Homo-oligomer: A and B are copies of this chain.
Amino acid sequence: MASADQGNYDHVGLNSARARVRMKVPSVAERVAEELRYQLAEGFLVPGAKLTEATIAEDLGVSRNTVREAFAELAAERLLLRQPNKGVFVATLEAGDIHDVYTVRRAIEVSSIRAGGSPERIAAVRAAVEEGKRAAAADNNEGLGSANQHFHGAIVALAESNRLDTIMAQILAEMRLYFHKATMNAHFYSDWLKENEQICSALEAGELERAGDLLLAYLNRSEQQQTAIHGA
């Protein structure tokens, strides 16, 4: 759930006078959820795969109840699908889901960029663009992917809304799951690299309408492409 502020706290740096920061010590359930999220993002767990409570519990060395709690969290994020008395499965792309996801993105990304943002937040968008350029120069496909996600996350962050940030984080997690690296070839990336640049420039120049239009066009085209690859 990328849920709010949960997690245990533990005093660390008992020796250091300054670093008396409260560091998170996530609960076991939280760590299980994190591990599963990781495996989902990495493509270890493919859509449709069945996750048996007992198996996961044994594999991770935790109790079945704890796994259950993690499942509930991921099901709330739409990453897992719970089918009562049958089990939990990695979410699969249903008909209309692509359009659904992009509808949400259009709503929150375009609205966020049209409202502009503080210089710091705009700088974060710029940083994501540069991150993408560096990854492209280094021919780092992996890095290109995350740079793009950072870019769109930074756009939503312009609105300074925790709730929007959470929603966007979930959507991006879904996209990592569905549109896995395999489907994201380099050709795909080079397209939007310069497009991100344009959007960012428009944003920096205060041309919010134009930035929104460009972003909207990108999202529409991206939806088309994804629809072409996967089913409707």
Using a CB–CB distance below 8 Å, which chain A residues touch chain B?
1, 3-9, 27, 65, 68-69, 72-73, 75-78, 81-82, 84-85, 99-101, 103-104, 106-108, 110-112, 159-164, 167, 171
Contact = CB atoms under 8 A, between A and B. Distances in A.
Contact of A76 (B3, B8, B9, B162): B3
A220 B138 CA distance: 46
Nearest to A72: B72
A3 B75 contact: yes
Nearest to A7: B84
Nearest to A170: B163
B84 A6 contact: yes
18 contacts: A1-B1, A1-B75, A3-B82, A4-B75, A4-B81, A4-B82, A6-B82, A8-B84, A65-B65, A72-B73, A99-B161, A100-B161, A104-B108, A104-B161, A104-B164, A104-B167, A107-B111, A163-B171
Nearest to A30: B84
Copies in the complex: 2
Contacts of A171: 163
A94 to B, nearest CB: 9
Contacts of A73: 72, 76
Contacts of A75: 1, 3-4, 6
Nearest to A75: B3
A54 to B, nearest CB: 16
Nearest to A1: B76
Contacts of A100: 161-164
A128 to B, nearest CB: 20
In the complex, which of the residues A73, A101, A171 has the most CB atoms of chain B within 10 Å of its own CB atom?
A: A73
Given A5-B81, A69-B69, A99-B161, 20 more contacts: A3-B82, A4-B75, A4-B78, A4-B81, A6-B75, A7-B84, A8-B84, A9-B84, A69-B72, A72-B72, A76-B76, A76-B77, A103-B160, A103-B163, A103-B164, A104-B108, A104-B164, A107-B111, A107-B164, A163-B171
